[in-house]
Amino acid sequence: MSHEEIDQFGFSTRAVRAGQRRTDEMEQSEALFLSSSFTFESAAQAAARFSGEEEGNIYSRFTNPTVRVFEERLAALEGGEACVATASGMAAVLATAMTLLKAGDHVVASRGLFGTTTSLFSNVLTRFAVTTDFVPLTDYAAWEAAIRPETRLLFLETPSNPLTEVANIRRLAELAHANDCLLIVDNCFCTPALQRPLALGADLVIHSATKYLDGQGRCVGGAVVGDRERVGKDIFGFLRTAGPTMSPFNAWVFLKGLETLRLRMRAHCDNAMALADWLQHQPQVRQVHYPGLRSHPQHELAGAQQTGYGGIVSFEVEGGREAAWRLIDRTRLLSITANLGDAKSTITHPATTTHGRISAQQREASGVTEGLIRVSVGLEDVADLQADLEQALAAC
């Protein structure tokens, strides 16, 4: 199916159909091409493929038909011209940074980023003379003040991890463009089923496919979505040269995951809303962070910018780390794991896991306190999740 045809369809149709090309076997489900390389009819054809004169498969570091189906499907869902699939979400961030930045450049990023992303910007890229300033996600004056002549990128996650703060994408896109910068949004928490940053003015979208795009906790992968020039040519070129590629097997799992994405996201949202609402009435809980709650500082913005509030709820218990660990250890149904976006609900203590490698000072500044617990609300019966947390809270 051509891009033009796919563009006429709604989101759910794209999620099921975009990118598929049947082979002569006329398979109904997408074929899995577990082949590292591809053959040519002649030496001349090999030369034409390598020079780019002729389109076609060469080698699965950069051309694989199964990976391409995933890329085209995700691009169709995000409303982007091009998508490049990567080995992990971190590989997507790295490929973007290595492609768009050079020594001397500067980045402004939000403080509440996924811990490893913060670490990449503040510990790895600094060795290549790329510096990053971190600002509070929703402090627009701080974003503006941090921009310098050598700033190239503004980078954010919304909602943020683990505090679910919500930034105004349109406003930050305008700020970026007024200063000759690009706005990059990590759309991991919402997925295109709930939020499409490109339509709000962002230049590139980053994904950890490991999370909701898979949705069942099986594979690690990532993606960058955006325009044909930057993503289709430049980031694709980086991938071809540097090699942080998605495996075709993982691409097959992810592309099947996209087929049920909207249904799953709706169910995650419903369960998370019910759980957040219940949690805010528990005496041991000091604060609940969930954009769907009226008490959330960006509740209205989230309602306008997203079509659902997401599946991540975090809450702070009285009694700091000890109480938080006791609660986590007492749960029986929720899985103690740092992963999120799974059908199975997961529970995490961010301060000592996902955000454990950043300095205590950076952590406190981003609001990740010792009593904070993050739950990625899965697809179980919400009454069972609530009962599990209820008996665990009694230990706090």
Draw the binding track, 346-365, toward ligand PLP (x: CB under 6 A; -: no contact).
Answer: --------------------
Contact 48, 54 (CB under 8 A): yes
Instruction: Return the residues of window 173-202 that contact ligand PLP according to CB under 6 A.
Output: 186, 188
For the record, the structure tokens of 123 come out as: 């510990």
Task: Count CB neighbours of 300 within 10 A.
Answer: 12
| Choice from 60, 96, 110, 161 touching ligand PLP (CB under 6 A) | 161
Helix axis angle for 320-330 and 382-393, nearest 10°, is 130
Query: In the complex, what is the shortest distance from the CB of residue 63 to ligand PLP, in angstroms, rounded to a whole number?
Result: 22
Query: In the complex, what is the shortest distance from the CB of residue 339 to ligand PLP, in angstroms, rounded to a whole number?
Result: 8
The H-assigned helical ranges of the chain are 3-7, 11-17, 43-51, 65-78, 89-100, 115-119, 140-146, 169-178, 191-194, 236-242, 248-259, 261-279, 299-305, 320-330, 360-365, 382-393
Which residue sits closest to ligand PLP, CB atoms considered?
89
Q: Nearer Cβ to ligand PLP, position 117 or 191?
A: 117
Separation between Cα atoms, residue 329 and residue 389, nearest integer Å: 11
For the record, the structure tokens of 143 come out as: 């974003």
| Choice from 66, 99, 110, 117 touching ligand PLP (CB under 6 A) | 117
Separation between Cα atoms, residue 140 and residue 146, nearest integer Å: 10
Pairing of strands 312-317, 285-289: antiparallel
Q: How many residues bind ligand PLP (CB under 6 A)?
A: 15
Q: Nearer Cβ to ligand PLP, position 138 or 208?
A: 208
Choices 73-81, 206-214, 299-307, 386-394; region in contact with ligand PLP by CB under 6 A: 206-214
Burial class (CB in 10 A: 0-12, 13-18, 19+), 319: middle
Q: Nearer Cβ to ligand PLP, position 6 or 193?
A: 193
Instruction: Return the residues of window 38-97 that contact ligand PLP according to CB under 6 A.
Output: 88-90
For the record, the structure tokens of 166 come out as: 């919500």
Q: Nearer Cβ to ligand PLP, position 90 or 285?
A: 90
Q: Nearer Cβ to ligand PLP, position 161 or 346?
A: 161
Q: Nearer Cβ to ligand PLP, position 35 or 216?
A: 216
Query: In the complex, what is the shortest distance from the CB of residue 112 to ligand PLP, in angstroms, rounded to a whole number?
Result: 10
Draw the binding track, 128-157, toward ligand PLP (x: CB under 6 A; -: no contact).
Answer: -----------------------------x
Separation between Cα atoms, residue 292 and residue 69, nearest integer Å: 34
Draw the binding track, 208-227, toward ligand PLP (x: CB under 6 A; -: no contact).
Answer: x-xx--------x-x-----
Helix and strand numbers, DSSP H then E, in the chain:
16, 12
Separation between Cα atoms, residue 83 and residue 192, nearest integer Å: 13
Contact 336, 275 (CB under 8 A): no
Q: Nearer Cβ to ligand PLP, position 157 or 234?
A: 157
Asked whether the bond before 159 is cis by omega within 30 degrees of 0, the reply is yes
The residues near 159 (Cβ < 8 Å, ≥ 6 apart) are: 165, 166, 189, 190, 291, 302, 310, 312
Query: In the complex, what is the shortest distance from the CB of residue 116 to ligand PLP, in angstroms, rounded to a whole number?
Result: 6
Task: Count CB neighbours of 37 within 10 A.
Answer: 12
374 binds ligand PLP (CB under 6 A): no
Draw the binding track, 319-348, toward ligand PLP (x: CB under 6 A; -: no contact).
Answer: ------------------------------
Query: In the complex, what is the shortest distance from the CB of residue 279 to ligand PLP, in angstroms, rounded to a whole number?
Result: 21
Interface residues toward ligand PLP, by CB under 6 A: 88-90, 114, 116-117, 157, 161, 186, 188, 208, 210-211, 220, 222
